[in-house]
């Protein structure tokens, strides 16, 4: 059984933006704005990448889906960041509707003789716990007999944190949510033409049986001004990390508040500014 994760990194999908962007050129101009890209890279470096790099079960593939026209300085920076993580593959993808595009990326990775798979998605500014891959594989094995007559089964982790990163460090709030995109995975049969990206994450439980994990905390969901949602309104409810939570972030998510302060205090590098 293969485990496949998908991350869309500033991919210029057709549709799906709250802003009125009428063509691919407008989407790319918005996505590749230097200030925006610096914000995305800093979150990716501090949240997504360390949590993926620290997975206790290393037998998985993490696909980073990017646009074919990503400017070379950003592509080079992404390659430099991920080169030491063998599970990561960067996949340049033509601009199209985001669900078919993501579906094709996952199916191409699985190949013609597709095995059974567990699939998950993770935004480029979120994180999952270091045991995420290990636990979802274990749950799939434990439910194998139960799943024999089911097309799919989902595994959801309800507990996590909303976080905001800044030069002051990390502000956070412990939360219990329902079917966020992070902390969610699903099984797929070898002959299934669909993928995790063909299902809206908040409706996944309407399409397949679901095992809900009430503990441990398994995700960090970032809140910031570039979130494509209303989540940024909740930043004021977050609090500075306590020593206990700071240690938890380090041990469970491989997220270091000291590195966050340093990274978010740094000026934009010349490569990104140009």
Q: What is the pLDDT of residues 238-267, one digit of tens each?
A: 999 999 999 999 999 999 999 999 999 998
In sequence order, the 6+-apart residues with CB closer than 8 A to the CB of 180 are 160, 201, 202, 219, 221
Q: Which one is predicted more confidently, 15 or 78?
A: 78
Angle at which helices 34-43 and 24-31 cross, to 10°: 60
Task: Determine the length of the chain.
Answer: 274
Question: Any idea what the Cα angle at residue 263 is, between residues 174 and 130, rounded to 5°?
Answer: 45
What is residue 8's DSSP assignment? E
What is the percent of the chain where pLDDT is above 90?
Answer: 81
pLDDT band per the 50, 70, 90 thresholds, residue 231: low
Q: Identify the CATH number of the domain in which residue 258 sits.
A: 3.90.550
Total structural domains in the chain? Answer: 1
Q: Which domain holds residue 91?
A: 2-273
Q: What is the pLDDT of residues 34-74, one digit of tens each?
A: 999 999 999 999 999 999 999 999 999 999 999 999 999 99
Three-class DSSP category at 215: coil
What is residue 47's DSSP assignment? I
Q: For residue 5, with 0-12 CB atoms within 10 Å meaning exposed, 13-18 middle and 19 or more buried, which class applies?
A: buried
pLDDT at 273 over 60: no
């Amino acid at each position: 059984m293969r485990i496949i994760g998908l991350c869309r990194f500033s991919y210029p999908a057709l549709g799906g933006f709250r802003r009125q962007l009428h063509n691919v050129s407008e989407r790319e101009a918005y996505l590749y704005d230097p200030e925006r890209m610096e914000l995305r890279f800093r979150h990716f470096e501090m949240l997504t990448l360390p949590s993926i790099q620290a997975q206790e079960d290393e037998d998985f593939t993490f696909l980073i889906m990017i646009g074919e026209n990503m400017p070379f300085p950003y592509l080079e920076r992404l390659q430099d960041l991920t080169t030491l993580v063998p599970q990561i593959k960067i996949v340049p993808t033509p601009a199209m509707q985001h669900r078919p595009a993501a579906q094709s990326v996952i199916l191409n990775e699985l190949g013609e003789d597709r095995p059974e798979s567990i699939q998950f998605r993770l935004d480029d500014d979120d994180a999952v716990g270091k045991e995420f891959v290990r636990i979802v594989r274990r749950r799939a094995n434990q439910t194998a007999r139960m799943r024999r007559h089911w097309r799919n089964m989902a595994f959801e982790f309800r507990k996590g944190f909303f976080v905001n990163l800044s030069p002051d460090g990390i502000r956070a709030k412990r939360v219990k949510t329902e079917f966020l995109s992070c902390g969610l995975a699903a099984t797929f049969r070898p002959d299934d033409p669909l993928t995790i990206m063909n299902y809206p994450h908040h409706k996944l439980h309407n399409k397949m049986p679901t095992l809900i994990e009430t503990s441990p905390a398994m995700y960090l969901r970032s809140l910031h001004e570039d979130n494509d949602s209303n989540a940024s309104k909740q930043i004021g409810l977050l609090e500075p990390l306590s020593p206990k939570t700071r240690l938890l972030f380090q041990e469970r998510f491989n997220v270091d508040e000291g590195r966050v302060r340093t990274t978010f205090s740094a000026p934009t590098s010349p490569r990104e500014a140009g």
